[in-house]
Amino acid sequence: MPAPTATTRPPEDPPPDGRAPGTSLPVWLSAAGAADNEGSWAPRRSGRRTEAFLDRTLAEFAHVTRHAVFAEEVARRDGFLQRLDPRVKLGGFIALVLAVAVARSPVTLVLVTLLSLAGAARSRVPAGFLVKRVWVVVAVFAGVMALPATLNVVTPGVAALRLPFGLAVTWSGLRGASLLVLRASASATLAAVLTLTTRWDRLLAAARGAGIPPAFVVVVDLAYRYLFVLMGAALETFEARKARTVGSLRLAQNQGFVAAVAGATLQKARVMSEEVHAAMVARGYDGSPRLARLSPLGAGGVLGLAAFVAGAYIVFILDRVLVVLGA
């Protein structure tokens, strides 16, 4: 190969004095000291608050991240439920949720909730963390579904509490509503225990094992992953904006900024999805996902699954007995 000739020296090479043309700074940049300093060295307070909106958004992002990081750590702990095959857990979850759905005695529902909590305790899931997850679901559910069910317009019966406009809270309404809330907390606790003790990838593998179409599983998986990637991208953009926020923006500018970030994030999402697609194609993806086969369940797994189904059946029978006994 011929050596490059001396005349091919690129024009951008630094001149012999060692200073490239592009490194002599303009006056406004090289003048030291910020103009707003007014002789005081430390930045001075103005007593006015920064944009609460940006701070709230960033705090929200940080909170979600902390939560996800912690949940992942819990799922990796060495505990009773973490050691079970995810398919066994998913199967058991489905069986127990069915039992909960048809249960008519509050005692059964409390029992299932307590049992799930005990399982969580044996699996080193912090009680506070679990309760917080469940509580949100139950609170929303109670507000939307259960509260209206206590009223005489929904559930007629003997009034327990009279309200204005001819409304009243009925005893049968209260009973129905408490059953609804208990059922919601039992299901939510089961779901929280399952998701907190099973890593996301293993849960998806179990879903594939349960016969959910691979294409669906892949889409859910990508959506979940890219939610975090996109959230990260949006977060960084917000932070970059924050790092360059040196004056206060007018409302219109702020709205413009939010629109710009939304636009930029969508652009990024599009480019990212193109890149992801290209990366998948480069690794042999042809439009129909072929996912890794799961290893056979094994005798222990089958036994575990059988135990869960039997447990759910016992819960079902117990519930019938309790209802007959009037509990």
Residues in contact with ligand ATP by the rule CB under 6 A = 65, 69
Contact 215/280 with Cβ under 8 angstroms? no
Question: What's the min distance (Å) between Cβ of 68 and ligand ATP?
Answer: 8
User: Which residues, other chains included, contact 248 with Cβ-Cβ below 8 Å and sequence gap of 6+?
Assistant: 51
Question: What's the min distance (Å) between Cβ of 73 and ligand ATP?
Answer: 11
Q: Answer with the entry of another protein, ligand ATP, none that 251 interacts with (C-beta below 5 to 8 A by kind).
A: none
Q: Answer with the entry of another protein, ligand ATP, none that 20 interacts with (C-beta below 5 to 8 A by kind).
A: another protein
Give the residue with the Cβ less far from ligand ATP, 161 or 227.
Answer: 227
Distance CA 112, CA 99 (A): 9
Q: Answer with the entry of another protein, ligand ATP, none that 142 interacts with (C-beta below 5 to 8 A by kind).
A: none
Give the residue with the Cβ less far from ligand ATP, 17 or 73.
Answer: 73
Q: Considering only CA atoms, which of 298, 255, 299 is closest in space to residue 54?
A: 255
Question: What's the min distance (Å) between Cβ of 1 and ligand ATP?
Answer: 37
Question: What's the min distance (Å) between Cβ of 246 and another protein?
Answer: 4
> H or E stretch including 269?
helix 251-282
Q: Answer with the entry of ligand ATP, another protein, none that 267 interacts with (C-beta below 5 to 8 A by kind).
A: another protein
Question: What's the min distance (Å) between Cβ of 48 and another protein?
Answer: 4
Contact 116/189 with Cβ under 8 angstroms? yes
Distance CA 275, CA 229 (A): 13
Q: Answer with the entry of ligand ATP, another protein, none that 57 interacts with (C-beta below 5 to 8 A by kind).
A: none
Q: Scanning the structure block, which residue is given the tokens 């939510």?
A: 188
Number of alpha carbons in the 13 Å side-chain half-sphere of residue 127: 6
Summarize as ranges the residues that interact with another protein (CB under 8 A). Answer: 10, 12, 14, 19-20, 22-26, 28-34, 36-37, 41-50, 55, 62, 65-67, 69-70, 73, 233, 236-237, 239-249, 257, 260-261, 264, 267-268, 271
Q: Answer with the entry of ligand ATP, another protein, none that 273 interacts with (C-beta below 5 to 8 A by kind).
A: none
Contact 265/234 with Cβ under 8 angstroms? yes
Q: Scanning the structure block, which residue is given the tokens 């790092």?
A: 243
Report residue 57 as tokens. Answer: 């958004």
Number of alpha carbons in the 13 Å side-chain half-sphere of residue 133: 23
Question: What's the min distance (Å) between Cβ of 230 and ligand ATP?
Answer: 13
Question: What's the min distance (Å) between Cβ of 173 and another protein?
Answer: 42
Contacts for 300-306: CB closer than 8 Å, 24+ residues apart: 300/85, 301/85, 301/87, 301/88, 304/84, 304/85, 304/88, 304/92, 305/87, 305/88, 305/91, 305/92
Give the residue with the Cβ less far from ligand ATP, 65 or 195.
Answer: 65
Give the residue with the Cβ less far from ligand ATP, 29 or 69.
Answer: 69
Contact 98/211 with Cβ under 8 angstroms? no
Give the residue with the Cβ less far from another protein, 28 or 165.
Answer: 28
